[in-house]
């Protein structure tokens, strides 16, 4: 009989490098999925790890392999610490995304570090991980993977928008889930706030004091990615190649860069929402705390915006990777070809059973 109740640890490290999100959650299935986040924590990276993770894109395969091993051990250590701190007793599996090191799906390549089999051995727990590789092997973009979770856990919303390192959206068109990356967000904003001594732009206050630079805004909006049809996804490589050089060529004050980029984000999001009818929009990810961006979004759209509680804002991705792991354990589809462009719907992820469970 298929198991319907699961207690899992969900682990996610996103592109913003704000830390490792870990949750302990219970899931229950009876006609539909229900979840409860029981414990949660974001564990910030040390400055040494931040330096390593910021340089992943340019590492050789051999260097990446070594980093992968240390990073897998780091994740194991953080997960064990979390389990001990919250005195967690019953865990069906650890479902972990790891951290995207390199992503070039159009050349059949994606690499998430932190997904080596030693994770299960150190934890002495069953692990489901490495969710993107199989999709890329099947011709998909390997991202975004969260939309099936949006459909299963948040079915009441017309659109689910995640404001993380990149913004991505998922929605249903004619009964089919579609999703794509909209534009880069905190990965760009944080890069510039750091130049004036801030990790991020709290509430968007820095941006709100800047001026929109019309030429830069126009050139950002004219980047070819925005004209391409979905499925489509973005990576740091694209930002480094196209966005930073464009912004830096203007030699602007950082406040003006932030203000212009916030406007760019709001315009790109508004462009994907229907103008003729009011739709419901769930906004999660750290960018949901950027009140200035939300204000700009409200000015440019007619949608009904819901910003959920802090747990869902911050941990929705870790929660959904938990669900993807559970679906994999149940042998069910957890990756949709209509979202990633893969050749078929499939059950993605790798299961490592720890030595005691084999």
Q: Contact positions toward ligand ATP, by CB under 6 A? A: 14-16, 18, 162, 164-166, 186, 189-190, 200-204, 285-287, 289-290, 317
CA 208 to chain centre: 25
Taking the least distance from each CB to ligand AH0, the nearer of 14 and 140 is 14
CA 154 to chain centre: 16
Per CB under 6 A, does 166 bind ligand AH0? yes
**CA end-to-end span of the chain:** 19
Taking the least distance from each CB to ligand ATP, the nearer of 92 and 322 is 322
139, interface contact from ligand ATP, ligand AH0, none, CB < 5-8 Å by kind: none
Taking the least distance from each CB to ligand AH0, the nearer of 144 and 204 is 144
Per CB under 6 A, does 322 bind ligand AH0? no
203, interface contact from ligand AH0, ligand ATP, none, CB < 5-8 Å by kind: ligand ATP
The DSSP secondary-structure symbol of 173 reads: E
Q: Which strands sit side by side in the sheet containing 304-306, from one edge to the other?
A: 176-184, 166-173, 159-163, 280-284, 304-306
Note if the bond before 144 is cis, omega within 30 degrees.
Answer: yes
Stretch that binds ligand AH0, among 1-9, 143-151, 205-213, 305-313 (CB under 6 A): 143-151
Per CB under 6 A, does 102 bind ligand AH0? no
* Residue among 52, 83, 145, 243 that touches ligand AH0 (CB under 6 A): 145
CB of 276 to ligand AH0, least distance (A): 28
Token match 């704000």: residue? 18
308, interface contact from ligand AH0, ligand ATP, none, CB < 5-8 Å by kind: none
Q: Kindly report the number of other CB atoms within 10 A of residue 276's CB atom.
A: 6
Q: H or E segment at 353? A: none
Distance between CA atoms of 243 and 185, rounded to whole angstroms? Answer: 11
Taking the least distance from each CB to ligand ATP, the nearer of 15 and 126 is 15
Given a contact cutoff of 8 angstroms between Cβ atoms, the answer to whether 319 and 25 are in contact is yes
Retrieve residue 28's tokens.
């229950």
Size of the site for ligand AH0 (CB under 6 A): 17
Per CB under 6 A, does 181 bind ligand AH0? yes
Angle subtended at Cα 318 by Cα 148 and Cα 350, rounded to the nearest 5 degrees: 70
Which residues contact ligand AH0 (rule: CB under 6 A)?
A: 14-15, 100, 103, 142-146, 164-166, 168, 181, 233, 235, 317
């Amino acid at each position: 009989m298929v198991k319907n109740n699961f207690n899992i640890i969900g682990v996610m490290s996103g592109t913003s490098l704000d830390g490792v999100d870990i949750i302990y959650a219970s899931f229950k299935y009876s006609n539909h999925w229900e979840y409860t986040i029981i414990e949660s924590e974001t564990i910030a990276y040390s400055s040494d790890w931040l330096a390593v993770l910021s340089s992943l894109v340019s590492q050789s395969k051999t260097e990446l392999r070594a980093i992968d091993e240390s990073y897998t051990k780091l994740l194991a250590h953080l997960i064990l610490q979390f389990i001990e701190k919250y005195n967690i007793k019953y865990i069906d599996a650890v479902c972990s995304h790891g951290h995207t090191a390199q992503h070039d799906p159009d050349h059949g390549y994606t690499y998430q570090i932190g997904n080596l089999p030693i994770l299960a051995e150190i934890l002495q727990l069953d692990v489901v991980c490495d969710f993107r590789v199989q999709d890329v092997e099947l011709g998909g973009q390997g991202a975004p993977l969260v939309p099936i979770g949006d459909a299963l856990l948040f079915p009441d919303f017309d659109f689910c928008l995640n404001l993380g390192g990149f913004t991505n959206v998922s929605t249903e068109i004619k009964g089919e889930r579609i999703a794509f990356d909209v534009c880069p967000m905190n990965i760009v904003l944080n890069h510039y706030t750091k130049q004036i001594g801030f990790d991020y732009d709290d509430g968007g206050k820095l941006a709100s004091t800047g001026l929109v630079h019309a030429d830069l805004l126009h050139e950002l909006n004219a980047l070819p990615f925005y004209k391409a049809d979905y499925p489509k996804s973005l990576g740091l490589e694209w930002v480094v190649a196209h966005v930073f050089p464009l912004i830096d060529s203007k030699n602007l004050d950082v406040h003006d860069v932030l203000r212009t980029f916030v406007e760019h984000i709001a315009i790109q999001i508004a462009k994907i929402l229907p103008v003729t009818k009011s739709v419901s929009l769930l906004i999660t990810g750290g960018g949901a705390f950027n009140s200035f961006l939300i204000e700009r979004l409200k000015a440019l759209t007619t949608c009904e915006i819901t910003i959920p509680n802090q747990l869902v804002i911050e941990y929705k991705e870790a929660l959904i990777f938990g669900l993807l792991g559970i679906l994999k354990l149940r042998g069910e589809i957890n990756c949709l070809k209509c979202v990633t462009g893969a050749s078929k719907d499939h059950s993605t992820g790798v299961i490592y059973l720890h030595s005691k469970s084999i």
